[in-house]
């Protein structure tokens, strides 16, 4: 093991060197380990030596002579440590000090030292314990840094991949609109102009083609809407939450009346929230539409929307008495194209709740759901009051 001592006191260097050699000889774990100890009196010389030679460990005097003569020392008692940390030197450091202030010891550890010892009060056991702890801690810190870097790289690649996929979805859904419209238009022309001239089998094929094309049109519209939400940057304005919810209810007035649905609003007074109005309005429209679509037969649909301030966030609970679903699907329903029911039972593309979640994420918020078959669902939205 190769150790460098940086201390302006020749006596302290000799004492520490002697203690280290004696401690290594008496300890079975270290006794057969080759030991090289060098000492240097100034920080600059120490840094130059560390940059030119390989060392396993540094013992660093907390207060070097230059610091003692500097009246600003008390404002920055960790100058030597901070100077080493500015370099590319990656070696575990044990601070040596006679400065009896636990706050400074703690700050030294927080600033990158692995351990510390008091000059006037250390034993052989203290030395070896500090060395073992410093080496192990340094190893774990470096492994953690490496894992964090790998995770950051993976996260960046994943974000880049998601952005590319969202951009592709936008381009694909946009570019497919025109040929699909032509299929629908010409299919209807054939039905209108030549319907009497083709046999029943051909008519059935044609009807299926037109129906599938129209479903594809709806799916592409929903995908395009999702992609627009995902890829655009928005300006947020402080708006009244109750006004936005009332606008969504008004837009669905006919649908609500035709289902004889009841709605109950409990919005705390004067809740304003930074948002993009059209997007947030769309969130409530989608949730209300879902509640009306997945209503229980022969039961009047009931929808409750409650909102309250929770510190710097607004918590919005959206509750219905619909058919509900098994809670094991609570994450799946927010994924694109995911449906819990067949197309013959309920219409839709499986993009509605995915778009809702994306809008909430655009507002730096989150959404979760709790549900039970036959007992309805409760969606909980948490959105920051202010967007940064």
What pLDDT score was predicted for residue 74?
41
Pair (222, 317) in one structural domain? no
Q: Which of 334, 307, 311, 322 is nearest to 244 (CA)?
A: 307
Among all chains, which residue has been given the structure tokens 């009841």? 262
Pair (131, 50) in one structural domain? yes
Question: With b meaning 16 or more CB within 10 Å and e meaning fewer, what string describes 5-44?
Answer: bbbbbeebbeebbebbeebbeebeebeeeebebebbbebe
What pLDDT score was predicted for residue 77?
53
Residue 170 lies in a domain: no
Residue 153 lies in a domain: no
Pair (22, 129) in one structural domain? yes
Among all chains, which residue has been given the structure tokens 């209807």? 188
Residue 171 lies in a domain: no
Q: Which of 183, 175, 305, 196 is nearest to 252 (CA)?
A: 305
Q: Domain end: 130, 146, 162, which one?
A: 146
- DSSP readout, 118-138? ETTS--HHHHHHHHHHHHHHH
Pair (94, 64) in one structural domain? yes
What pLDDT score was predicted for residue 345?
72
Give the pairing of strands 2-6 and 36-40.
parallel
Q: Give burial (CB, 10 Å; 0-12/13-18/19+) of 227.
A: buried
What pLDDT score was predicted for residue 73?
42
Pair (90, 106) in one structural domain? yes
Token duo for residue 321: 């008495």
Domain with 33 in it: what CATH number? 3.40.50.2300
Residue 158 lies in a domain: no
Q: What is the residue-level pLDDT of the chain in tens, covering all 388 positions?
A: 899 999 888 888 898 899 988 888 888 888 888 889 999 988 888 888 888 889 999 999 877 655 444 444 444 557 788 888 888 888 899 988 876 777 777 888 888 888 888 887 778 888 888 888 888 888 888 889 899 999 988 888 888 877 777 677 677 667 777 888 888 888 888 888 888 888 889 888 888 888 888 888 877 777 777 777 777 778 899 999 999 999 999 989 888 888 887 878 777 668 999 999 999 999 999 999 999 988 888 888 999 999 999 889 999 999 999 999 988 888 888 988 777 776 667 777 778 898 999 999 999 999 999 999 999 999 999 999 998 8
Pair (14, 135) in one structural domain? yes
Domain with 293 in it: what CATH number? 3.30.565.10
Give the pairing of strands 313-320 and 366-371.
unpaired
Residue 138's domain comprises 2-146
Pair (116, 31) in one structural domain? yes
Pair (123, 194) in one structural domain? no
Q: How far is the C-alpha of 369 from the C-alpha of 332, rounded, in Å? A: 11
What pLDDT score was predicted for residue 215?
80
Q: How far is the C-alpha of 5 from the C-alpha of 12, rounded, in Å? A: 10
What pLDDT score was predicted for residue 365?
94
Q: How far is the C-alpha of 51 from the C-alpha of 269, rounded, in Å? A: 64
Q: How far is the C-alpha of 197 from the C-alpha of 194, rounded, in Å? A: 5
What pLDDT score was predicted for residue 200?
87
Residue 161 lies in a domain: no
Tell me how many domains the chain contains. 3
Question: With b meaning 16 or more CB within 10 Å and e meaning fewer, what string describes 169-201?
Answer: bbeebeebeeebeebbeebeebeeeeeeeeeee
**147 phi/psi in degrees, rounded to 5:** -65, -40
What pLDDT score was predicted for residue 268?
66
Q: 80, 43 in Cβ contact below 8 A?
A: yes
Q: Which of 181, 256, 247 is nearest to 213 (CA)?
A: 181
Residue 206 lies in a domain: yes
What pLDDT score was predicted for residue 385?
94
Q: How far is the C-alpha of 336 from the C-alpha of 191, rounded, in Å? A: 33
Using DSSP, state whether 387 is helix, strand or coil: coil
Residues with Cβ within 8 Å of 331's Cβ and at least 6 positions away in sequence, in order, are: none
Pair (180, 294) in one structural domain? no
Q: Counting runs of H as helices and runs of E as strands, what totals does the chain give?
A: 12, 12
Pair (275, 297) in one structural domain? yes
Residue 154 lies in a domain: no
Q: 330, 380 in Cβ contact below 8 A?
A: no
Residue 169 lies in a domain: no
Max CA distance (Å), the chain: 111
Pair (118, 11) in one structural domain? yes
Q: Domain end: 199, 231, 263, which one?
A: 231
Pair (187, 213) in one structural domain? yes
């Amino acid at each position: 093991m190769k150790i460098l001592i940086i201390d302006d006191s020749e006596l302290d260097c000799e004492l520490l060197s002697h203690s280290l050699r004696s401690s290594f000889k008496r300890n079975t774990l270290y006794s057969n380990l080759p030991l090289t100890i060098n000492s240097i009196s100034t920080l600059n010389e120490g840094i130059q030596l560390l940059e030119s030679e390989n060392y396993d460990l540094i013992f660093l005097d907390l207060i070097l002579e230059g610091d003692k003569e500097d009246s600003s020392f008390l404002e920055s008692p960790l100058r030597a440590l901070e100077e080493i940390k500015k370099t590319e030197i990656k070696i575990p450091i044990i601070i040596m000090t006679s400065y009896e202030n636990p706050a400074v010891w703690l700050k030294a550890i927080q600033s990158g030292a692995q351990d510390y010892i008091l000059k006037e009060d250390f034993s052989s056991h203290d030395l070896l314990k500090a060395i073992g702890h410093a080496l192990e801690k340094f190893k774990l810190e470096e492994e953690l840094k490496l894992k964090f870097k790998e995770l950051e790289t993976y996260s960046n690649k994943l974000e880049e991949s998601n952005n590319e996929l969202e951009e592709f979805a936008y381009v694909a859904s946009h570019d497919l609109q025109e040929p699909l419209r032509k299929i629908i238009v010409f299919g209807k022309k054939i039905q209108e102009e030549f319907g009497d001239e083709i046999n029943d089998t051909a008519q059935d094929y044609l009807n299926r083609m037109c129906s599938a094309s129209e479903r594809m049109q709806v799916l592409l519209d929903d995908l395009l809407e999702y992609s627009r939400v995902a890829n655009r940057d928005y300006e947020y304005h402080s708006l009244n939450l109750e006004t936005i919810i009332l606008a969504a209810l008004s837009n669905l007035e006919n649908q609500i009346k035709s289902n004889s649905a009841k709605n109950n609003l409990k919005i705390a007074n004067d809740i304003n929230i930074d948002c993009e109005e059209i997007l947030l309005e769309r969130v409530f429209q989608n949730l209300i539409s879902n509640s009306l679509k997945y209503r229980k037969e022969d039961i009047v649909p009931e929808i409750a929307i409650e909102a309250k301030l929770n510190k710097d966030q607004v918590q919005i609970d959206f509750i219905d008495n619909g058919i509900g679903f098994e809670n094991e699907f609570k994450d799946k329903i927010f994924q694109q194209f995911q449906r819990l029911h067949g197309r013959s039972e309920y219409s839709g593309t499986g993009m509605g709740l995915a778009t809702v979640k994306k809008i909430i994420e655009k507002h730096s918020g989150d959404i979760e759901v709790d549900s039970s078959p036959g007992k309805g669902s409760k969606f909980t939205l948490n959105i920051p009051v202010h967007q940064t």
